[in-house]
Amino acid sequence: MRLINVLVVDDSAFMRKMISDILNGHPKMNVIATARNGKDALEKLHELQPDVITLDVEMPIMDGMTTLQKIMAEKPTPVVMLSSLTQDGTEKTLESMTLGAVDFIAKPSGSISLNIRDKEAEIRTKVLQAVNANVNKLVEKEIKKPVIPMNTQRVASNVTKSNLIVGIGTSTGGPRALQQVVTQLPKEFPAPIVIVQHMPAGFTNSLAKRLDNLSQINVKEAEDQEVLQNGTAYIAPGGKQLRVEQRGNQLITRTTKEEPRNGHQPSVDVLFESLAELSSRQVYTVIMTGMGADGANGLITVKQKKQDTVAFSESQETCVVYGMPQAAEKTRLVDHVVRLPDISNALVKQIKA
C-alpha cells in the first residue's frame, strides 16, 4: 500500500508536532517533513514533492495565502488550510478556496490550539480526501459567461410568481463552484435559492457576505423562521440543518441544531427531503462538487414525491471531487449533467423554457 506523503506547514512547533502525530497515527499517511513558514515550505515542496500539504493561514516571513498562490503557480498540489476562527481568519480561508485550496480545517482555539486532538478525525479525513482532488480544476481560471437576463414577463406567463424554488448542494470545492454559479444568476431570478455547503459554524456567514458582494442576486446566511424571497440565495448556517416549510402561500426556513445526518450538518439530504414536501412548488435541484454521496437520497425522495422536479449535476469534467454528483447520477434521476461554467445559464434557460 502506497503511503500518502504529507508536508505539514505551521509556524508553531507545537502545532507541527501535534498535526504530524495525528497524521502519522493513520496507517495510510506519512509526514515526510514539516516547515515553519512559507519560504521553508516551498523549498521542501520542490525537494520532496509531497502528495498533500497542510498549510497554516497565519505565518511570519511568508504567510499561508502567499504560499498557496506560489504553490499553485509553481507546482500545483492538494492543500488543506488550517485557520483560526477569527473574522480575519475566516475571510482569508474563504479566499484561499478561490485561490486553489482543496479544503480547510478550523483550529478549535486559535493559532496554537492545545485541543487540536479534538479535530483528529477531521484532519485525517480531509487529508485523505484531498489526495483525490482534481487540483488542475482549482487552478484553472474561472470562465465567466455573460449573465442571461430573465424575461420576467415571459417567465410569468408560464409560471406564477412564487411557485419555484432551487436547492443546491455542494461540499469539497464548493465555495469556488458556488462563486461561479451564484454570481452568474440575474438579479430578477424568479425563485428563492436554498444552499447547503458543508462548512462549520463561523464560516457560512462570511461565505454568504462574500458571494453577496460579488452577485447580482442577494445572498445571506439563512435564519430560522425567515420568509423566502425570490432573487435571494440562503446558505444553511454551519452546524445546523436547513429545511423549508410551506405556510399558506409563503415558504419559511427552519434551522435546527440536530444530530448530523451521515456525518453532515448541514445536510443536502435533509434540505432536499424538505423540498419534497412543498406541494405547490416546482423544484429544481443542483448537486455540485463534493466528497461522498450527500444529496443522492434526498434527490430520490424529491423525485418520488414530485415527479416534475428538474435535477442538475455538475459534470465530472469540471468537478474538483466527483463524489456527490456521481452518486446523484447513479440514481438515474438527474435530468441534466452540466459543466460548472454552464450551470447558471442552464438553470435560467430551463426556467424560461
The catalytic site residues sit at 171, 198, 294
C-alpha cell of 316? Answer: 465530472
Secondary structure letter of residue 142 according to DSSP: P
β-bridge partners, 290: 322
β-bridge partners, 218: 232
Measuring CA to CA, which residue among 178, 254, 189 is closest to residue 217? Answer: 189
Secondary structure letter of residue 171 according to DSSP: -
- Give the DSSP H/E element, type plus range, for residue 347: helix 343-352
Q: Residue 36 burial (CB < 10 Å; 0-12/13-18/19+)?
A: middle
Rounded CA separation 57/12 (Å): 12
**Beta strand spans in 147-215 (E):** 164-170, 193-197
Measuring CA to CA, which residue among 198, 11, 189, 32 is closest to residue 102? Answer: 198
β-bridge partners, 283: 165
Q: What length is written for the chain?
A: 353
Q: How many other C-beta atoms can be found within 10 angstroms of the C-beta atom of residue 130?
A: 26
Measuring CA to CA, which residue among 314, 296, 244 is closest to residue 275? Answer: 244
Rounded CA separation 134/270 (Å): 28
182, 194 Cβ separation under 8 angstroms: no
Contacts of residue 214, defined as CB under 8 A and 6 or more positions apart, other chains included, come to 179, 182, 183
Rounded CA separation 138/184 (Å): 19
- Single-letter amino acid, residue 205: N
Rounded CA separation 352/62 (Å): 49
